[in-house]
Structures are given as structure tokens and as C-alpha cells.
Amino acid sequence: MTQYVYRFGGGVSGGGQGDKNLLGGKGANLDGMAAIGLPVPPGFTISTPVCALYYDNGESFPDSLKAEVATGVTHIEGVTGKKFGDAADPLLVSVRSGARVSMPGMMDTVLNLGLNDQTVVGLCDASGDARFAWDSYRRFIQMYSDVVLELDHGRFEEALEIAKEDRGYHLDTDLTADDWQALVTEYKSIVEELWGKPFPQDVHDQLWGAIGAVFGSWQSERAKVYRRLNDIPGDWGTAVNVQAMVFGNMGDTSATGVAFTRDPAKGDNAYYGEFLINAQGEDVVAGIRTPQYLTKAARETAGAKPLSMEEAMPAAYAELAAVFDQLERHYRDMQDIEFTVERGKLWMLQTRSGKRTAKAALKIAVDMASEGLITQEEAILRVDPQALDQLLHPTLDPKAPRDVLTKGLPASPGAASGIVVFDSDTAEKRSGEGVILVRVETSPEDIHGMHAAKGILTARGGMTSHAAVVARGMGRPCVSGAGTLSINAHNKVFSVGGRDVREGDIITIDGSTGEVMLGEVPTVQPELSGDFGTLMVWADAKRRLKVRTNAETPTDCRTAREFGAEGIGLCRTEHMFFDSARITAVRQMILAEDEAGRRVALAKLLPEQRSDFIEIFEVMVGLPCTIRLLDPPLHEFLPHEEAEFAEVAAAANVDVEVLKRRAAELHEFNPMLGHRGCRLGVTYPEIYEMQARAIFEAACEVAEKSGAAPIPEVMIPLVATARELELMKAVVDKAAKAVFAEKGREIEYLVGTMIELPRAALRAGDIAEVGAFFSFGTNDLTQTTLGVSRDDAARFLTTYVEKGIYARDPFVSIDVEGVGELISLAAERGRATRPDIKLGICGEHGGDPASIDFCEQTGLDYVSASPYRVPIARLAAAQAALRRG
């Protein structure tokens, strides 16, 4: 017969061996604490598999569970010497959840279970404290009614407040035993009114009701949202822990508290926590009373008067401090602990690895490795790479008030305040004032405004929309897909929730949470401490994957180099074309009727492109630089306003109407799959010829000045066939040969392609005969493989993830089964043809830890990420190597 119940405490272990997958985190740690001799109230854990069975069986339990639970109750009775339901000296228990990973506050708890109209009298006599007994009973009725019976919690709170008002009291602690007894009567009448039946008096019915409610809370809305946000699988389930109650509300020698073995905000090696005398656990968390400090030093620092636990209960505190050290040594991590002191005796109710800020995680990991508690490898694995975002960008002051207008998608981390502007030209003009660019959606034409802005807010677009991708590359905070915004760019106003925000008004955006706030909210600047540098050195020594950056400006390149980038994995040359000084020449080139006209315009662009590349290569001397030739459809560069058409007409010396006709000819119904990428190079090879010449002239010039050349890797985009790459490579090689002859020097370079079409992945063996490297453009490869537009996917992908169609948003983390298989296949076929082919990825996935793990598994050579995600990629690459080592 399958065992479902595992006992702990009183020198007994049910055999769960501390397995979190079986017992849940709380159950495993209770068993673990009991096993090392700590004072843990006895209890038993109903294992996580029961949760799945409960739902599979229409919210009913396996037949054998009843007998196992009865045995568990007998175990608690044997250790405590009390009987469950005994009117003279009753056993009371708590019923708590416990998933395999911590989900604080997401699931339900019931305390003081086992009280009824008879046992409360027994508790009065046994404890000698009638006030404590009746207070415990009213707490139980209130909690059980809320959690199990699902009655209106507010009715009970209202009755308590009225009771205090009627008696002229301010605090719960002012109420007497008679007051609590009267309130119990009132609570029971509320239950009968709302539930239609009396409050349950049978203690076994109470127990099974609570067990069902805790399992039921696994599918509560808040638990489902938390799981989705934290990538916790829904089929893991929760365990249920039934444990003998110990009481912190039995007078002035009793207390309850929550503590951390180190500071969870800063990481300092100092005890951190709060406690309350004569209270139960929920009083500390609920904020009904103001908790007191744990240590004398913390109290004095805060300037607080109420005595700390160290001063008020020195013996219990000394015992607790010893337990802190023992637990940290045993679990080899910072612990989050719940404890109760009952009439001077310390009891441990919970321990778990404590939640911590990124700053604290970094400090704790490095400190513990330096102390010899963990190894450097373990320290690397302890820090969540994604959490480094908190360290690299300004964050909102957590103490500052905020007026939240709406919430969108947290598209690019960091926080910024500024005046609202609705177009990129205004953003550039007013950049000195600090602006937030607000758009329905952004396009490549907004690049100058995005660069000028402190932050970007869009009503449409997902986590990998144009706004999100560019903002992350620039290190700008961005909130995208704020669908409740109604933007009227013409009138320069947006509306949300009945409120209007006009150009010039100040807003604050938090790209880490997606919140949009009215007014200025103070920010806290990041501090890259010595711990950050130390951990990165350790990580770099362990990783195999190289880490490059996606960058096309000298500022981005310098930022990326400071963060440890080992070259450029993607330089998008089209962003350079949108500069206001050269857009007219670009438009002239596009709208030209023939090759001669295009070459005239391209001659104007050549020195500009060369200058761009010189600035980039100077930062990246000696490093590989993958330059993607022009990729987007030409229509993205076209003029839209009359004045823009007139400007191009004057520059090209042609009639405006001719230009408008040419623009209409270039219109495409589906430009994403239209005349773009290498298709532009095949039809207008002179464009790629100019770009290749600019690259090689710049590389030669930098080599001459510095004595060390960059290594240009010229990347041809959107290739589907080997013949396309063959034609474009010939154009690049011809330009290189000409430049090298003119300059009297040669430099090393490679020609390769971006694999972003399924056909290219399937025919990678043929394409590798021509290309020296593949860079997987996972943004477009995901779109073309799934047939999903990333700019429109935000409308339904959340639902797809919730329904288990995809494990995660495939534009955030690689769809391993589909897109991943194409990458693996292309890598295998490419290497079969050309064993030394260089393989990397340059889509947004290059900064996603789960995707980096896949790249390590597939044996790619490098990943490329936006500058501010380079440290994340370095740490994730080290973790991937360690996990697979």
C-alpha cells in the first residue's frame, strides 16, 4: 500500500528522508530540524502526491488516507500527552500548506484546530488562563470560517472592531476573557447566519475540512498567478502539515516571531527579524500590532523604545541565536525561520531558505564561499541571473508613495520619471528635461526619440516587441502592452481609468514590474559592489560559452565591454540609417528609379557608415564583431508626411509626385515576409556593396591607428538557400578585395548568415558550404516557426501559457521542442559540412538563462545579449556549464 503520511518529532521520522518533492519544503525542513535535535512540535505531513489524487478524484481523498491520518494524530497525542477532542486537556493542531518551493502567503493555514464549546473549557482549566483560551477559540472560528467555510472575513473583523469600540478599547490585548467569550458567541451567530448551519463542533470534521481547504488552495487564483510568475509547474501540488500547536499568546513569558539568519535586504551577516510578546504568528505578519526588534543593536539603530527579544527574553534569545547558527551550518544557506516561545520554552515552527534581494543574494553567496560554508561553484549557482537586473538599473525607492495609473508588461528593467511626450522629435528636443516617450507602439523610426528618452511606455506590443528589444539594448526602462491606455497623439494626451495625462505632465514607469505611476517617484541608483566583480570572476572561470553583445552605438559598445562582453554578436546597421542627418539620403536611395540613382545616394551614406563602424571597432579592437547587413523592408524608411516627401524630392532633384508613386509601388501587404534581408541584396547588390566597403575601410583604418584590427563577421540576413548566400558572399568578398588593394593591408574577416527561417535550418548543411558562421536569429526564427507575430502575440500568449500550450512565452524563452529542435538540427548539419563553423545566437533569447542552458546543451560557441544583460548571460552560462559538468 502506498504511504501518504510521514511523521516527525518526538524522536520519530516517517521515512521521508527530507525529500522536498515528496514532503514539500515545509514538511521536509520540519523533518530535518527534528532529525538534528531541534525543539519541533510533533506532527505529520500528508505528501504532495495526494494533492494530484485529490483533484483527479473530484476533490476526494484516497481510501487509505483516513487510517494514516488517524495514526498521525495518535503519534502527536503520544508525544504531547494530550488527546485530540479531549474536553479536559485538549490537543490543538495547526494545518498548513507546504509546496516543494516556497510560495509565501499564497496558500491557506488554519491554527488552533480542535477547539469547540467543550474543549475551550478544558483549555481554560489546563492553561490556567481563560483569556488565552477564549482568544484562541475566537481566532480559530474566524480563521476556519474564512479559509474552510469561505465566509466573508470582513464580517468577523467588523464584529471585533465594534466590540472594542463599545468597550472603549484600542488594542486587541485590552479585551478580557469575558469579552472574548462574548465575541465567540457573536462569531458563531455570524457563521450560522452566513453558512446556514452551526459552527462545526466535531474536531475530526474540523480536521478534514482544513486538510481539504489547504489542498483546495493550490488551485486558488492567487496561487495560480504566483506559479505563473515564478515558473512553478501546476502538477507539483502541495503537501499538508498537521502539527501540535504551541502558543505564544500565553502571557508575558510567551512570544512569537519571524527571523532571518542574515539580513535579506542587504546580505549583512547579522540576525534580522521581529517578535511579539503574548501573540500568535499571524499577529506578526498581519500588522495588527507593531512588532519589536529581535536584537538590541537593531532596536538602537531604529531608535525604538520597546525592548528587543535579546533584552526582554535573554535566555530564549540565546537559545534562538544558537539555533540560527546550527540551521545555517546544516542547510548551508540563509534561513527564514518562524518560532514560538511558550512559557519560556523555545519551539521551532519552520525553516526555509530565505527570500532575498539581488544585492543580498550576491553578498550572502560570496560571503558564505569566503567563510568556507559553500564552494565557489555553489556560490555561482546560488544567485539567480535574472535577479542581477535589480543591480544594473535604477529601482524605485520602496518607501516612496506611488499613485499607480495602470500596469503593462515589464519589458525592460529599471525605473525612470520624466515629462510625457508623444513623438520622437519632441523627445529629442526636450531630452534635457528628462522625458518618457509614450507611443501606441514604436517603430525603427523612433530610435532617436527612444535614445533621447529616459523611459518608454507603449500601449501595444509584447515583451519582445520593437520597443522592448530596443529599450533593453539601450538600458532604458520600458513598459509595453499597457492596453488600458487610450493615447491621442494628435491632441497630446492619454487617458486611463477616467484620468487624463497631458504632454508635459510627469509620470514614472517601473520596467521591472510594469507599473505606470502619476508624478515623480524617487529612485535608488544601482551599486555594483565588489561582490558583483568577485562573483563574475568566479563565473567566467567556469563558463564555456562566450558572451557577446547586441550593440550598434559606441555608448552601447562601451557599456557592454564594461559588463564583460567579448565582442559583438549583432550590430543592426539599419538603426544607423534612421539618424536624422542621413535619413534623407536613405530615402533618396530607396526611391531612386535605377541603379545609378541608388549609387548617388549610397555615395552620400558611405562615409557616414564608415564613421559608424570606426567608432564601434575602436571600442572592440581585437574582438569579433558580427555586422548584419541591411535587413528590414524598405517601406520602414519611407517618408509619410508632406514635408518629408518635399525634403527628399529636393535632395534627389525629382518631382514629389514621382516619389509618391514610387512609395506606393514599394507597399507590401506582409513586409515581414516580403522584400527584406538578403532579398534586398539580391535585387539591389549595390546596397550591400556599400555596407561591406564601409566595414572594411573602417576596419583597416582602426587597424592602422591601433595596430590591432577587429575581426569583422559580415552577416547576411534572412537567407533561405545556399545560392542566396553565395551571391551575397561574392559581393562582400569583391568589396573586401578592392579595399585591401587600396589600403595596402589585409585583415581577417568571415562571411556567414543569420539562421532565422525554418528552411535555412533544414538546409544548414548546404549553407555551411558557403558560410563560415551561423548566428541563430531566434526572434524571427520563433515567428517563422510558430507562425506567430511577436508584436501581436501578447494578446493571447499569456492564455497559452496558462493553459499549458507553451511552458513559457516562446519569445522570452526558447521553445525547445520546436525552435530548439531546428537549432539543434542546423548545428548538427552545419558542423557535418564545416567542423569549425562558428555557432551563436543573437536574438533576445541570448539574455535568457533557460535559453542559455539550451545553448550550452546544444554546444553553441557563444550567446549575444543586450549590453545590460551581458552579466546575466555570463552568470547563466557558468551555471549551465556547472550543471552539465
CB 476 within 8 Å of CB 450: yes
Measured CA to CA, the distance from residue 539 to residue 197 in angstroms comes to 62
Q: What angle do CA 467, 471, 476 make, to 5 degrees?
A: 135
**Each residue of 309-363: pLDDT tens digit?**
999 999 999 999 999 999 999 999 999 899 999 999 999 998 988 888 788 899 9
Q: Could you tell me which residues come within 8 angstroms of residue 490 by beta carbon, excluding any fewer than 6 positions away?
A: none
Q: What nine digits make up the cell of 246? A: 504551541
Q: What is the arithmetic mean of pLDDT over 693-700? A: 97
pLDDT of 662 reads 81
Contact between residue 281 and residue 340 where contact means Cβ atoms under 8 Å apart: yes
Active site residues: 466, 842
Backbone dihedral angles phi then psi of residue 355, each to the nearest 5 degrees: -65, 145
CA Rg value for the chain = 33
Question: Look-up: residue for cell 507546504?
Answer: 98
**What per-residue confidence (pLDDT) applies to 465?**
64
Confidence bin at 81 (pLDDT 50/70/90): very high
User: What's the average model confidence in pLDDT over 755-768?
Assistant: 98
pLDDT in tens, 369-415: 999 999 999 999 999 998 887 788 778 888 899 999 999 888 888 89
pLDDT tens digits along 210-231: 999 999 999 888 788 778 777 7
Mean per-residue pLDDT, 477-505:
92
DSSP 307: P
Span 580-634, pLDDT tens digits? 778 888 888 888 888 998 999 999 999 999 999 999 999 999 999 999 999 988 7
Decide if pLDDT at 469 tops 70. Answer: no
CA–CA gap between residue 42 and residue 34 (Å, rounded): 9
Q: Are 8 and 30 in contact (CB under 8 A)?
A: yes
Task: Find out whether 336 and 260 touch, Cβ atoms under 8 Å.
Answer: yes
The pTM of this model reads 0.77
**How far apart are the C-alpha atoms of 302 and 448, rounded to whole Å?**
47
Separation in Å, CA 484 to CA 274, 407, 481:
40, 8, 9
Contact 477, 393 (CB under 8 A): yes
Q: Convert the pLDDT of each residue in 260-314 to its tens digit.
A: 899 887 889 999 888 989 887 766 655 456 688 899 998 898 787 889 999 999 9
At 632 the pLDDT is 86
CA distance 54 to 51: 5
Q: Which three cell numbers stand for residue 434?
A: 528628462
β partners of residue 754: 775
Amino acid at 145: S
What residues have CB less than 8 Å from 430, skipping those under 6 apart? 419, 421
Q: What is the DSSP letter of 295?
A: S
Q: 151 or 634, which is more confident?
A: 151
Supply the pLDDT for residue 529. Answer: 64
Tell me the per-residue pLDDT of 772-828, one tens digit each, with 9 for 90 and over.
999 999 999 999 999 998 888 878 888 898 888 998 899 999 999 999 999 999 999
Whether the predicted pLDDT of 559 surpasses 80: yes
Mean pLDDT throughout 26-32?
Answer: 92
Contact predicate 339/346, CB 8 Å: yes
User: Using CA atoms, how far apart are residues 842 and 245, in angstroms rounded to an integer?
Assistant: 56
pLDDT in tens, 11-22: 877 676 778 999
**Distance between CA atoms of 863 and 533, rounded to whole angstroms?**
21
Confidence at residue 481, expressed as pLDDT on a 0 to 100 scale = 84
**Which is higher by pLDDT, 481 or 122?**
122
**421-453, pLDDT tens digit by residue?**
999 999 989 988 999 999 988 876 787 888 889
Q: What is the pLDDT of residue 304?
A: 79
Average pLDDT, the chain: 91
pLDDT tens sequence across 162-196: 999 899 888 787 899 999 999 999 999 999 999 99
- Using an 8 Å Cβ cutoff, are 758 and 713 in contact? no
CA 343, chain centre distance (Å): 43
Give the residue ranges of DSSP H helices in 514-594.
Answer: 530-542, 554-562, 574-577, 583-591
User: Among all chains, which residue has been given the C-alpha cell 501595444?
Assistant: 460
Is 331 within 8 Å of 25 (Cβ atoms)? no
- Residue 213 in 3-state DSSP? helix
Select the more confidently predicted residue: 132 or 638. Answer: 132
> Is the pLDDT at 464 greater than 80, yes or no?
no
Q: Which amino acid is at 28?
A: A
Separation CA 316–CA 342 (nearest Å): 10
Mean pLDDT of 851-863: 97
Predicted local distance difference test score (pLDDT) of residue 271? 92
Residue found by looking up cell 569579433 in the block: 624
HEC readout, 739-781: HHHHHCCCCCCEEEEEECCHHHHHCHHHHCCCCCEEEECHHHH
User: What's the pLDDT score for residue 528?
Assistant: 66
CA 612, CA 273: separation in Å to the nearest integer?
Answer: 55
Report the candidate in 715, 721, 668, 710 with the shortest Cα–Cα distance to residue 688: 715
